[in-house]
A and B are shown apart, each in its own frame.
Chain A
Amino acid sequence: GAVVSQHPSRVICKSGTSVKIECRSLDFQATTMFWYRQFPKQSLMLMATSNEGSKATYEQGVEKDKFLINHASLTLSTLTVTSAHPEDSSFYICSARAIMERETQYFGPGTRLLVL
């Protein structure tokens, strides 16, 4: 149980385009989902916390207009990287927290974004 999927797993796009990444909890409902970014050889960096039906809470330094987050249902959150630039190239990982488990987050497999 506690499976989280992400789609796509890899995406290559041209600079200036927008990219949408989906995060789904497959076998549980998640009121809260989290979006992380990982740079090479570094730890996970929390970008934003997404609660179903409400606006996401962004961490300091993360542009909310650039990284649009939508959490429309208890099993789906999306991250849209708008007007992507090469410096947005990274590994994006989502996690979901089950309703009945307040602390444990289950992570998706990640999405590798390369902006040319």
Chain B
Amino acid sequence: DQQVKQNSPSLSVQEGRISILNCDYTNSMFDYFLWYKKYPAEGPTFLISISSIKDKNEDGRFTVFLNKSAKHLSLHIVPSQPGDSAVYFCAAIRQGGSEKLVFGKGTKLTVNP
């Protein structure tokens, strides 16, 4: 049973527009969420995180929104740049519990010039 789901395997947007990457989770015990970006043949790079006590966290062009009632989070990238083209992984963890991050399967974002 997949506890973290990224239902869109791919997303294509134009440079300068907004990219919205979505993630759903089923385990209500998760209370901390992270987004990672990954280029081929490289390790994931941490982008941004959010605790369940917040519904929004912003860092430059990246904003993560959390809707706890819907068990849904999204990553907004604006404006999108060609260098943002990568696979984006959503991850979740229960603070103070198991140390394991639970990852979604990733969404491949392509930003077209």
Seen from chain A, the residues whose Cβ lies within 8 Å of a Cβ on chain B are: 2, 4, 6, 32, 34, 42-44, 46, 49, 91, 93-95, 97, 102-110, 112
How far in angstroms is the closest Cβ of chain B from A50? Answer: 10
Chain A contact residues, majority secondary structure: strand
**A94 / chain B contacts, CB cutoff of 8 Å:** 43
Are B104's CB and A43's CB within 8 A?
Answer: yes
| Size category, B interface | 20 to 34
Apart from the given pairs A106-B46, A107-B44, A107-B46, 18 other A-B contacts in the complex at a CB distance below 8 Å: A4-B43, A34-B100, A43-B89, A44-B44, A46-B101, A49-B99, A91-B41, A93-B44, A97-B99, A103-B32, A103-B34, A104-B46, A104-B49, A105-B46, A105-B101, A107-B45, A110-B41, A110-B43
Are A109's CB and B34's CB within 8 A?
Answer: no
Closest 3 CB pairs of A and B: A107-B43, A43-B105, A103-B32
A-B contact pairs, 24 of them (CB 8 A): A2-B46, A4-B43, A34-B99, A43-B103, A43-B105, A43-B106, A44-B44, A44-B89, A44-B103, A49-B100, A95-B43, A97-B99, A102-B96, A103-B49, A104-B46, A104-B49, A105-B46, A105-B101, A107-B43, A107-B44, A107-B46, A110-B41, A110-B43, A112-B41
In the complex formed, the residue of B with least CB distance to A49 is B99
**B62 / chain A contacts, CB cutoff of 8 Å:** none
The answer to whether B1 has its CB under 8 Å from any CB of chain A is no
**A95 / chain B contacts, CB cutoff of 8 Å:** 43-44
Per the 8 Å Cβ criterion, residues 19-35 of B in contact with A are 32, 34
In the complex formed, the residue of B with least CB distance to A106 is B46
State A102–B49 Cα separation when bound (angstroms). 12
The answer to whether B64 has its CB under 8 Å from any CB of chain A is no
How far in angstroms is the closest Cβ of chain A from B48? Answer: 10
How far in angstroms is the closest Cβ of chain A from B43? Answer: 4
State A4–B44 Cα separation when bound (angstroms). 11
State A46–B69 Cα separation when bound (angstroms). 28
**B49 / chain A contacts, CB cutoff of 8 Å:** 103-104
Are A32's CB and B104's CB within 8 A?
Answer: no
How far in angstroms is the closest Cβ of chain A from B95? Answer: 6
